[in-house]
Amino acid sequence: MAVNQSRPLQADVAAKQYSGLGYWWQRNQIKIVPYLYIAPFFILFAIFLAYPVLNSFWISFHKQQGISTPEFVGLSNYINLLADPRFKQSVINSTVYALGSLFLQIPLAFILAVVVHSWLVPWLNLKSFYRLAFFVPLLTSGVVVALMFGILYDYNSGLINSYLVSLFGEGAKIGWLRDPKVVKFSIILLLIWQFTGLNSLYFLAGLQNIPRELEEAAAMDGANAWTILFRITIPLLRPVILFVVITAINGSYQIFTQPYLLTGGGPRDQSISMVMYLYNTGFSYFNLGYASAIGYTLVLIVVTLALINLRFFGAFREDH
Amino acid sequence: MAVQTLSQPRKHARSTSKLRRQLFIVLTNLILMGAVFLTALPFLYMISASFKPQYEIFTFPVKLLPETFFPDNYTKLFTETLFTRWFLNTFIVAGGRTLLSLLLCMLAGFAFAKYEFPLKQQLFIFILASLTLPFEILLVPLYKMMVGLGWLNTYWVMIVPFAANAFGIFLARQYSLALPTELMEAARMDGANELSIFFRIALPNLKPAIAVLGIIFFNGAWNDFLWPLIVINDRVMYVINLALPTLRGPYGDQYGLVLAGAVLATLPVIIIFVTMQRYFIEGLMAGALKG
């Protein structure tokens, strides 16, 4: 900041040094600089995040079709949602995705992490190889994953059905994306493929932070592997477990790309997710008020579940 | 795994348990290798199918390897579609968003870690709280804003709105906290002003943080789909993710083309990851452990 050059013609140099802008800046820069540093972030944050969050809430109480003038309708968007069968179906589907990650994906990721961390994989190189191999699907965009699984799941000529037929004959074909009873499971399977590695990585990070001596001491005292796992490892991992559970539930309720591209929400709305319904309402039918109400219902669900988790794990903590 | 056999005499028990341990190790690693194969299978299948002519992708039974090497999907992608342009668009968008986010997050994260100022804690908690909100609630108001600004179908619309990244500021602060304060004080004694302390002293020491955040931002922007889907409808301005599903054509029969594009779309991310995986994994782990 070349402020001292701002008044080169000033006669009294000493006066400038003690009363000029340069002197003021030198004395006060440490107070002002932090605000200058956070200002660019907060300006964008305020314009593109804080304001829209509030604006969205405001819109959700209005009827607005496209760019027409919003008309205040009170709670009627929310009341209409309660009676909307397609919305109900989307909540059910998103909840099933979340349950799938909670009861299938996270336990799998946990087992994977514990096994890779244990003596069952004694070679360091192999440990890091597994870590990488299971992690790579995460790098792939939802679009590419949906396209890949689109051909894997194809009814007539997909790799999976092709394999099933060669093993069990024509009757073994599964309508991965066309059978209403199967389609949610197909999406969950895809999510397991894509995200188990990431969650496993989080657990591994947590496991590496547990001092080995604790487990060794317990083993010396005659505790078996199961006791050590349930009495020492899992309680110490509680913060990581909480983080994984909250992010996984959050992520499951935000699924869009995979069902949108794989099934378009079908068959019979059995795979439509909440975000997909929001997208269709807002950007295919331009029913912006209703779409915002869906968004705020999503917030309500996600935040409530996060609070329940915090409460559950927090209460758990006080027992020990 | 319970490997103790307490009822047997000690010496005997030890030798059996050693054998059993080795058996467990072999068995476990076989299962893990199988899982690695299952993880890799969709990739292998995608790459293989991208080298197949259309009729071969959908013949039954499926072959994992193409019968003949068929690079036409790739040449067609560059000669008959706007793929080069889409690729360039994606680079501009992902690169632009990464640079802007890095600047914003490093500056602010550093300020939160190394300066004292009124409302510091409150502001930081305010940012962290925003992490719990699903970003989808922003879509409608942001879309309206973009229409108002006339930003639809521009690079700005894909770069600016998501540049203030709350997770980024959190990680930037974590890394900045580890900087020794003495370093800054020594420079201050020597008469360095605050700006040069940031650019000459803090940033060079924060290279790992820049790498971590850079990769996470770039990857996120590169793989973005929902936001471009809403704000871009001009084919020339498409990013790869938007373009890929449309490559199937009106009859959904050009799957080879789509898969060739998918392979190329995944390559940059994989290359970056392979060269900088240490930073990537470090950053994600920091998120879990300090979160």
Q: How far is CA B91 from the centre of its chain?
A: 14
Interface of A with B in 254-293 (CB under 8 A): 254, 256-257, 261, 275, 278-279, 282-283, 288, 291-292
Tens-level pLDDT at each residue, chain A (320 residues): 444 444 444 444 544 555 677 777 777 888 889 999 999 999 999 999 999 999 999 999 999 888 788 889 999 999 999 999 999 999 999 999 999 999 999 999 999 999 999 888 888 899 989 988 998 899 899 999 999 999 899 888 888 998 898 889 888 889 999 999 999 999 999 999 999 999 999 999 899 888 888 888 888 888 888 888 888 889 989 889 998 999 999 999 999 999 999 999 989 999 999 999 999 999 999 999 999 999 999 999 999 998 998 888 765 554 44
Select from B58, B19, B49, B5 the least CA-distant residue to B251. B58
| Chain mean pLDDT for chain B | 87
Give the per-residue pLDDT at A316: 54
Higher local confidence (pLDDT), A221 or B239: B239
DSSP string over B58-109: T-SS--SS-SS--THHHHHHHHHS-HHHHHHHHHHHHHHHHHHHHHHHHHHH
**Residues forming a β-bridge with A62:** A72
Residue A116 lies in a domain: yes
Higher local confidence (pLDDT), B70 or B63: B70
Is B61 in contact with A136 (Cβ distance < 8 A)?
A: no
Select from A312, A310, A297, A262 the least CA-distant residue to A95. A297
* A51 and B CB contact within 8 Å: yes
Give the per-residue pLDDT at B7: 42
Residue A6 lies in a domain: no
Give the per-residue pLDDT at A86: 96
Of A206-210, B56-60, B148-152, B258-262, the least confident: B56-60
- pLDDT over threshold 50, residue B8: no
- The rounded distance, in Å, linking the Cα atoms of A54 and A27 is 39
Give the per-residue pLDDT at B6: 42
- The rounded distance, in Å, linking the Cα atoms of A148 and B245 is 11
Give the per-residue pLDDT at B12: 52
Q: How many CB atoms lie within 10 A of CB A96?
A: 17
What ipTM was reported for this prediction?
A: 0.87
Residue A254 lies in a domain: yes
pLDDT band at B142 (very low <50, low <70, confident <90, very high): very high
Compute CA distances A153 → A174, A175, A182, B73, whole Å. 9, 8, 11, 22
Residue A187 lies in a domain: yes
**A67 to chain B: closest CA residue:** B144
Compute CA distances A298 → A275, A293, A301, B138, B171, whole Å. 8, 9, 5, 12, 26
Mean pLDDT of B50-73: 80
Interface of A with B in 54-73 (CB under 8 A): 55-56, 59, 67
Select from B23, B17, B13 the least CA-distant residue to A120. B23
CATH code of the domain containing A112: 1.10.3720.10
Largest CA distance in chain A: 99
Residue A256 lies in a domain: yes
Give the per-residue pLDDT at A18: 59
Instruction: Walk me through the domains of chain B, giving residue ranges and CATH numbers.
Output: 80-289 (1.10.3720.10)
pLDDT in tens, B195-210: 889 999 999 999 888 9
Supply B276's token pair.
């900088």
Give the per-residue pLDDT at A320: 42
Is A201 in contact with B281 (Cβ distance < 8 A)?
A: yes
pLDDT in tens, B93-125: 999 999 999 999 999 999 999 999 999 999 999
Give the per-residue pLDDT at B14: 59
Task: Provide the domain limits for residue A238.
Answer: 95-313
* B17 and A CB contact within 8 Å: no
- pTM, two decimal places: 0.88
Is A119 in contact with B21 (Cβ distance < 8 A)?
A: yes
* A134 and B CB contact within 8 Å: yes
Select from A117, A273, A137, A267 the least CA-distant residue to A194. A137
Mean pLDDT of B136-159: 95
Is A53 in contact with B138 (Cβ distance < 8 A)?
A: yes
Which residues of chain A are within 8 Å of residue B222 when distances are taken between CB atoms?
141
Is A142 in contact with B164 (Cβ distance < 8 A)?
A: no
- pLDDT over threshold 50, residue B5: no
Whether A48 contacts A264, CB under 8 Å: no
- The rounded distance, in Å, linking the Cα atoms of A281 and A276 is 8
- The rounded distance, in Å, linking the Cα atoms of B146 and B158 is 10
Is B230 in contact with A48 (Cβ distance < 8 A)?
A: no
**How many independent structural domains does chain A possess?**
1
- pLDDT over threshold 70, residue B13: no
Residue A255 lies in a domain: yes
Whether A145 contacts A137, CB under 8 Å: yes
